[in-house]
Structure 1
Amino acid sequence: MAQSKRETERKYAAPAADDIAWLPDLARAHPGASLVDRGIQDLDAVYYDTADLRLARGAATLRRRTGGADAGWHLKLPLAGDSREEVQAPLTDDVPDELRALVHSRTRGAPVRPVVRIRTTRSVRDLVDARGGALAELSLDTVRADSLVEGGGHAVWTEMEVELAEGGDPALLDGVEKILRKRGVGRAQSPSKLARALTETTPGALGAEEPETDVVPGSAGAYLRDHLREQIRALVDLDPAVRRGAPDSVHRMRVACRRLRGALRSYRSVLDRDVTDPVRGELRWLAGELGPERDQEVLSERLHAGVRELPAELVLGPVAARLQTWDVAERAATRGRTLAALDSPRYTALLDRLSELAARPPLRAKARRRPEKVMVKSLVKEYGRLERRMDRALGLPPGPDRNAAVHQARKAAKRLRYAAEAARPALGRPARRLGKRVKAVQRVSGAHHDGVVTQDALRRLAVAAHAAGESSFTWGLLHGQERVTAALREEQLPEVWERAGKARSSLA
């Protein structure tokens, strides 16, 4: 079973690892700290990647390492700033299936093979506080890299790593870096040993992408291209988290799908629909497969919170047990659906299409125009669609038809919000204001929809409880509370919608 940890470190270009006269007193980075020598380690790692280095290009590394205290398979995935997630699996001859799955969004099913062998002689020192508690680990490395692909060479260098102890204060790394800079020691140019090894042993392996001659800087197409790439990168990065069941990961991946779909729909004047419409359809499919698990998360949290907040005397019968049994069964089914989608050939094909879309966005002639005209026009169109749906919803009497109409208006509000987010770097304050006001519309209509859905779930739980001879009082009480809450959200809609209309006027 693989284990995960968060790794926060910085790399520096060390003058030499065998002569540490240049090394400043890093203990000054923390009051009362000292350095403790932990000896020498010999590490031998073989790095795996696809033939075209999809992992390395996606800032991920997969290696099989012997030596040291953590021998085994290591998968490193990028996080924000200086941090990465490191997933470790036991030492085996072949890549563990779990790690193959976690790199799938980057490899897109292409086989991985050994590409570089890196042997490191590591001198380790711990930076500890006055009580001996670990603050950071300082490693001085002598590195030899040998290419494992035809025509590759080898390289030798020295470097230093400063890795923050688990739960440590990131400000410590700033203090260490300040001391190093005063001694003339700067950051390493390569983000990882693998990146440097590939660059020095296989020239051109990580060469720069070809310039995009069709994209005009500052144009609507340039802004949209950057937005699409950002969302595609988010979707790819979230895949491993979704597979491992990380909190909120399904929701965030679903949002990335919707943002991509929204941009492809809202800015059709900029993009070739013959290319993007099929991608939109597949993104809709993926969001639909992720939806049940996310919906169950929201519903479960809402129901558990509702039961917890009731006075004990109003909880009649085995309410908690029934809720738990229902939740476990529903989550198992929805989790299976999510994983089946991510393991399907259809998802792999979508990843291939998204990779192509990011590399070569199908821009139309209008993409060369200024965003102030092209993107504003798209936002105005999306606002018009929302306005028509909202007017219809607010004109209906309370009941199932109005509930359904509010839900449709909510979907239109999401599309407008995502379109405004895509335009924000180009249009600035007007797009930001519109997005904020429409988000309020989405939030209120979404809370109304959640109330409607929760009422339906409570009715089904009450029926099941009654059929089993249990009291259905508590379920009915919660149902009544949800009806009141949904009605209150309906009352708030006209006000938040009016405010969104004022933000719309600032676009023109």
Structure 2
Amino acid sequence: MPSTSSATVAEEAERKYSATGDRPLPDLTGLPSVDTIDVDRFELSAQYYDTADLRLLRSKITLRRREGGDDAGWHLKLPSGVDTRTELHFPLGDDSAEDVPADLGSLLRGIRRGAPLNLAALLVTRRHRHRLRSSDGGFVAEVVVDDVDAVRSADGSEIRWKEIEVEWNSTLGDKTIGRFLTALEERFAAVGITRSESPSKLHRVLGDLIPARPPIAKGLIPIRDYLSSELHTLGLSDIAVRRDAPDAVHSMRKAARRLRSALQTYSDEIVVDHDLVDELRWLGRRLSPSRDLEVQWERLADRVADIPVESHREATRARIDEYFSARSEAARLEAVDTLDSDRYVGLLTRLDAAITDIAPATEAAGARPKVARKELLRAVAALSKKVSRRVDRVGDAENPAERDALMHRARKGAKRMRYAIEVIAPLHPKRSERILDRFDDFQDLLGEFQDSVVAREHLLDMLSEQGHTAETSFGLGVLFRIETEIGDAQAAHLDSGWRKAYRSARRLWT
């Protein structure tokens, strides 16, 4: 059976087009960057797997076992951007077993909410492939015409269609590929070939089985859309954390924080299970050590170059690496253990239900079930007053430790306000974009301050350990002084940074 450690990863850039009848492809010769064209034909057989309620498909994820062609194996495709997906390719293994490998099932545990993965559809594709190459033989793009026969497991129904796929070499650059695609689509349009409305073959087969969202009050739509988007991000980040991908924990923590912040901020507008807020806080705390150690390791390693005595740098860097390496691996394992827990899966299931069944807070009291825009803006305005009070209190701090704690509270409040503005951004897109830019600047200031606080804590821990040389003691002491100066500089700009962010934001409600 394949394991996740045996996977190869690639970014796939492609578009799908509708083809009807026996309409031929247009002439592909003479396209920009194309010199030669290789043509071949072959057959592909693929089994697609999903949960009974199509969790993977609803998350824009596909899992298949394919035979035939030159890429036989298990393929896991994850959304990554416009026209792009990340593909994890696993070998078929030595046996002919068609059950989903355990390692792949574990990778998708969060997405499938612990439910089993079963055969969802069988597709047989007769492919006519055109491989387009440059004058030096480099791969430019692949244009394929697929005749597809599909059988879905749910009801045994059969579907047949023809489509065209274009996959290109994204490393050639946006400008080169842009010219190529523009010229190609002009030729497609001339013979009546148009972009497909279906994002994937599997969606074409099973898309009608995905239940429609229940209707809700118009004022709740921005909140529901925001919560749904962040839960989707949380799920994709879950997979990335299990793969130990860069910045995965950071992305997951941020999504959890945004979900929690939206539920808290708009608790007067929607019915909120406050225990769910606590569970999101628990998740963030469980993931926190892994992310914090990753950030601090990189931060302090980069600071080593600022040590004035060059001969002390190598020893200081070695001490920093030794300190963080042991702690980082333990924190990563703790994060994965959290994602494997029943408590985490239960949290995801409850979030699903909360978003699907979202309802106005007034409905619980039997009042008119309606949420107006002004009520959403009022929630942001109230939050701004809370942040203002927290910023003002920083100036009353009697010592550095108290200042650091008050700055951290101001930072958390500002983050919550930023996320609240993100929720209502679709109501005021242009204005919100400018406001969020201001808040990004303010968050950068507060984030740099907090990173300096945490860095000093780690440096003190390192200095308290046994076995230091004069070189490492000196180097770590220099870094401590630098981090102290950074923190003081950021704190000095707190009031002015908040004034700019607040003045920009208050235009929403004044």
Alignment map for 1:61-210 (pairs within 5 Å): 61-92=62-93, 93=97, 94-149=99-154, 151-165=155-169, 167-169=171-173, 170-171=177-178, 172-198=180-206, 204-206=208-210, 208-210=211-213
Alignment map for 1:355-504 (pairs within 5 Å): 355-365=352-362, 368-371=370-373, 373-428=374-429, 431-464=432-465, 466-467=467-468, 471-503=472-504
SS at match of 2:209: coil
Looking at structure 2, the residues matched to 316 and 161 of structure 1 have their Cα atoms a distance apart, in angstroms, of 54
Do the aligned residues in 2 keep the contact of 1:242 with 1:250 (CA within 8 Å)? yes
Change (3 A) 1:254 1:317: closer
Change (3 A) 1:468 1:309: closer
Looking at structure 2, the residues matched to 316 and 75 of structure 1 have their Cα atoms a distance apart, in angstroms, of 44
Give CA-to-partner distance per residue, 1:246-302, whole Å, 9 cap, x none.
Answer: 2222212211111111111111111113x3x12111111111111111111211111
Change (3 A) 1:27 1:368: farther
Q: Which amino acid aligns with 1:158?
A: K
SS at match of 2:171: coil
Looking at structure 1, the residues matched to 54 and 64 of structure 2 have their Cα atoms a distance apart, in angstroms, of 13
Looking at structure 2, the residues matched to 193 and 501 of structure 1 have their Cα atoms a distance apart, in angstroms, of 48
RMSD between aligned alpha carbons?
2.2
Do the aligned residues in 1 keep the contact of 2:33 with 2:140 (CA within 8 Å)? no
SS at match of 1:73: strand
Residue 153 of structure 1 deviates from its aligned partner by: 2.1
Change (3 A) 1:390 1:91: same
Large movers: runs of 4+ above 6 Å: none
Residue from 28, 31, 37 that aligns with 2:30: 28
Do the aligned residues in 1 keep the contact of 2:269 with 2:371 (CA within 8 Å)? no
Looking at structure 1, the residues matched to 493 and 186 of structure 2 have their Cα atoms a distance apart, in angstroms, of 53
Q: Does 1:9 align with 2:9?
A: no
Looking at structure 1, the residues matched to 332 and 152 of structure 2 have their Cα atoms a distance apart, in angstroms, of 41
Residue 459 of structure 1 deviates from its aligned partner by: 2.0
Looking at structure 2, the residues matched to 30 and 303 of structure 1 have their Cα atoms a distance apart, in angstroms, of 47
Alignment map for 1:313-392 (pairs within 5 Å): 313=310, 315=312, 318-365=315-362, 368-371=370-373, 373-392=374-393
Do the aligned residues in 2 keep the contact of 1:316 with 1:474 (CA within 8 Å)? yes
Unmatched runs of 5 consecutive residues or more in structure 2:
1-5, 363-367
Q: Which amino acid aligns with 2:201?
A: K
Change (3 A) 1:488 1:117: same
Looking at structure 1, the residues matched to 388 and 186 of structure 2 have their Cα atoms a distance apart, in angstroms, of 55
Q: Which amino acid aligns with 1:209?
A: A
Change (3 A) 1:188 1:471: closer
Q: Which amino acid aligns with 1:304?
A: A
Q: Does 1:306 align with 2:303?
A: yes
Looking at structure 1, the residues matched to 26 and 494 of structure 2 have their Cα atoms a distance apart, in angstroms, of 62
Do the aligned residues in 1 keep the contact of 2:391 with 2:495 (CA within 8 Å)? no
SS at match of 2:194: coil
Change (3 A) 1:343 1:181: same
Q: Which amino acid aligns with 2:194?
A: G
Correspondence for 1:248: 247
Looking at structure 2, the residues matched to 99 and 389 of structure 1 have their Cα atoms a distance apart, in angstroms, of 46
SS at match of 1:178: helix
SS at match of 2:41: strand
Residue 468 of structure 1 deviates from its aligned partner by: 6.3
SS at match of 2:398: coil
Unmatched runs of 5 consecutive residues or more in structure 1:
none
Residue 156 of structure 1 deviates from its aligned partner by: 2.3
Change (3 A) 1:229 1:42: same
Residue 324 of structure 1 deviates from its aligned partner by: 1.6
Correspondence for 2:58: 57
Residue 332 of structure 1 deviates from its aligned partner by: 0.1
Q: Which amino acid aligns with 2:483?
A: E
SS at match of 2:156: coil
Matched residue pairs, number? 491
Change (3 A) 1:269 1:15: same
Residue 32 of structure 1 deviates from its aligned partner by: 4.8
Looking at structure 1, the residues matched to 460 and 440 of structure 2 have their Cα atoms a distance apart, in angstroms, of 30
Looking at structure 1, the residues matched to 135 and 86 of structure 2 have their Cα atoms a distance apart, in angstroms, of 29
SS at match of 1:7: strand
Give CA-to-partner distance per residue, 1:137-186, whole Å, 9 cap, x none.
Answer: 1222222112334x322222222211113524442334322221111111
